[in-house]
Amino acid sequence: LAFATRSKSVATMAASQEFTGNLKREVEKLFDASLRITVPDGTSVETEVAASLPGKPGDYQCNNAMGLWSIIKGKGTQFRGPPAVGQAISKNLPASEMVETCSVAGPGFVNLVLSSKWMSKSIEKMLIDGIDTWAPTLPVKRAVVDFSSPNIAKEMHVGHLRSTIIGDTLARMLEYSKVEVFRRNHVGDWGTQFGMLIEYLFEKFPDTESVTETAIGDLQTFYKKSKTKFDEDPDFKEKAQKAVVRLQGGDPIYRKAWAKICEISRTEFAKVYQRLKVELEEKGESFYNPYIANVIGELDSKGLIEESEGARVIFLEGFNIPLMVVKSDGGFNYASTDLTALWYRLNEEKAEWIVYVTDVGQQQHFNMFFKVGRNCGYPVTMNQAARKAGWLPDSDKTYPRVDHVGFGLVLGDDGKRFRTRSSDVVRLVDLLDEAKTRSKTALIERGKDKEWTPEELDQTAEAVGYGAVKYADLKNNRLTNYTFNFDQMLSDKGNTAVYLLYAHARICSIIRKSGKDIDKLKKTEKLALDHPEERALGLHLLRFAETVEEACSNLLPNVLCHYLYDLSERYTSFYSIHQVIGSPEEASRLLLCEATAVVMRKCFHLLGITPVYKI
């Protein structure tokens, strides 16, 4: 194979690149350019760049030499082995102010050391232009995040709390990445249970107009009582079944009663959302009801639907049960609604990425209806060509795209499903109240009630308490079960929100104590990364954008938590060795403190945690 002679213009082009925030991508661009020169024509390789592990030479590593060698060896190449390929990759790297040195180690690892001067300049620029200039760019403009989504009149349980916390973070990361996000609360507000609820309501409150939340008291108990009656009283059961028909037929009295029940639940849910500062837009199951018949009709006309034991179903490759889309009584179900919502979101709302946040227990449901959207139904009776819904591309990584973001269970200290002492239902509001009370107690123990105003105490207790609950959930890989433990999550040591919030507050207090006007410093002073701890901290700061992008693309909030914890560790390593106030490097180090605080705050923001500024 002959080597192509390429013009040097590739190199000059890359030399003046503007830092877009994603450091890894910038490094990739450089190696891309080098590989275009190094790799023989007609050979396609994907650039492999990774951040180097701590303690290794270099900041980023290009790992293409070995793979490339195995493709070209024995084919008349001038190279003698992978190290020589590595040397060529290194030599062909375009000149760039980003790069300090590039060298080859071992069997051909190409190690790139970033220029500390360039690093400093990039951080200085972020301090002036704001951290939004580091926002990732994603290949989508509009997304739906379907999260929280409790069921009307049923308990909003810890599973819904997890969905609310994880979904909110994902929505925040997407929003930061300039994606328009529809934060959807797909509440379960439609279904046969409303027949019995409405009849029970009529029975207990003949004057339905005046029913209020307080009159009903606890909607869950109300639900349980009506269910008992439904199971035990055949007359009531019949009435309830008729009520469903009247409700679905649009009878105004039944509609009104239904709306009342929904409203009471909504008020309950709102209390949790308000505490957590989570915004959601409700478009419940009932919203899609008017569209279902058409959507099922479309699938039917495409030959996807078959009769099976009186019901109408779609058989899917790889699943041993079919997806039921019309029940034997002619009614629609969870799956018909979700198929319709998918159709609506893709076609009416033009969403390019739809993300569903529920417990892993629902994974099969999602996989099945995603597959219907992805063309893979196979009716026995129809030919191949007809079996396409055609809503989604065949590949699950191509846009428009759907993803199920599953999560594990919340466990109690006994290792079993989380419950409270008194009842089998954990009231979310009580849980959040307890987190706040406990963090307030801890603050009072530290004497903060004497230092601060009651408002300050209350706000800090809230930020720390709710932040702790959120962070304890988000820091684990979402697929694993996690143990709910107040003592652990509210500890000020280890990887907890409390520790991180305090770390941030400490940085703020150093800046305050310096008595310097930080905005003025940003404009007049330089930031230097001369010492190893300063440089390590600076490098970590510059990795913020690539981390958010990774967390967002892979829908893994724990990646961002991990980053945040590392950041505070690097800061501690820096601060425990280097004096800030009163040192000759004071101005530069204050800027480094400020940059750390800015990035930490952005992390908190993306995790839905309110930062605190003093402790």
Q: Closer CB to ligand ARG, residue 36 or residue 419?
A: 419
Handedness of CA 280, 281, 286, 291 (dihedral sign): negative
- 454-474 and 557-577 helices cross at what angle (nearest 10)? 120
The phi and psi torsions of 183 (rounded to 5 degrees) equal -90, 100
Q: How far is the CB of 193 from ligand ARG (least distance, A)?
A: 12
Q: Closer CB to ligand ARG, residue 29 or residue 371?
A: 371
Ramachandran region, residue 515 (left: φ > 0; alpha: ψ -120 to 50; beta: rest): left
Q: How far is the CB of 365 from ligand ARG (least distance, A)?
A: 7
Q: Closer CB to ligand ARG, residue 304 or residue 354?
A: 354
Bond preceding residue 400 cis, omega within 30 of 0: yes
Residues at the interface with ligand ARG (CB under 6 A)? 146, 149-151, 186, 188, 338, 341, 356, 358
Q: Across 235-322, where does the E strand assignment appear?
A: 281-282, 306-308, 311-314
Q: What is the 3 state secondary structure string of 409-433?
A: CEECCCCCECCCCCCCCCCHHHHHH
d(CA 207, CA 213): 14
Q: How far is the CB of 312 from ligand ARG (least distance, A)?
A: 20
From the list 173, 79, 165, the residue with the least C-alpha distance to 357 is: 165
Q: Closer CB to ligand ARG, residue 146 or residue 462?
A: 146
How is residue 55 written in tokens? 């303690």
d(CA 549, CA 540): 15
How many residues does this entry show for the chain? 615
How is residue 237 written in tokens? 């059961």
The phi and psi torsions of 61 (rounded to 5 degrees) equal -130, 135
d(CA 419, CA 425): 6
Q: How far is the CB of 258 from ligand ARG (least distance, A)?
A: 17
Check if the beta carbon of residue 309 is closer than 8 Å to that of residue 342. Answer: no
Q: Closer CB to ligand ARG, residue 285 or residue 306?
A: 285
Strand order across the beta sheet in which 180-185 lies: 281-282, 180-185, 142-146, 353-359, 401-407
d(CA 155, CA 505): 37
Q: Closer CB to ligand ARG, residue 186 or residue 440?
A: 186
d(CA 14, CA 26): 10
**Residue found under tokens 């390019």:** 352
Q: How far is the CB of 338 from ligand ARG (least distance, A)?
A: 5
Element (H, E) at 30: helix 23-38
Q: How far is the CB of 151 from ligand ARG (least distance, A)?
A: 5
Q: Closer CB to ligand ARG, residue 86 or residue 188?
A: 188
Q: How far is the CB of 369 from ligand ARG (least distance, A)?
A: 9
d(CA 440, CA 500): 17
Give the SS3 label for residue 160.
helix
**Residue found under tokens 């029913």:** 211
Residue nearest to ligand ARG (CB): 149
Q: Closer CB to ligand ARG, residue 22 or residue 149?
A: 149
Q: Closer CB to ligand ARG, residue 61 or residue 265?
A: 265
Q: Closer CB to ligand ARG, residue 34 or residue 358?
A: 358
Q: How far is the CB of 278 from ligand ARG (least distance, A)?
A: 15
**Residue found under tokens 């972020």:** 126
Gyration radius of the chain over CA positions: 29
Q: How far is the CB of 192 from ligand ARG (least distance, A)?
A: 15
Q: How far is the CB of 164 from ligand ARG (least distance, A)?
A: 11
Check if the beta carbon of residue 538 is closer than 8 Å to that of residue 120. Answer: yes
Q: How far is the CB of 420 from ligand ARG (least distance, A)?
A: 20
Q: Closer CB to ligand ARG, residue 47 or residue 163?
A: 163
Q: Closer CB to ligand ARG, residue 111 or residue 149?
A: 149
Q: How far is the CB of 345 from ligand ARG (least distance, A)?
A: 10
d(CA 18, CA 20): 6
Distances in Å between the Cα of 528 and the Cα atoms of 65, 134, 244, 507, 537 are 34, 20, 70, 18, 11
Q: Closer CB to ligand ARG, residue 359 or residue 473?
A: 359
Q: How far is the CB of 403 from ligand ARG (least distance, A)?
A: 12
Q: How far is the CB of 402 from ligand ARG (least distance, A)?
A: 10
Check if the beta carbon of residue 197 is closer than 8 Å to that of residue 260. Answer: no
**Residue found under tokens 């940003």:** 522
Q: Closer CB to ligand ARG, residue 108 or residue 150?
A: 150
- Report, in this order, helix, strand and coil percent for the chain, each rounded to 5: 55, 10, 35
Q: Closer CB to ligand ARG, residue 186 or residue 601?
A: 186
Q: How far is the CB of 393 from ligand ARG (least distance, A)?
A: 20
Element (H, E) at 546: helix 544-553
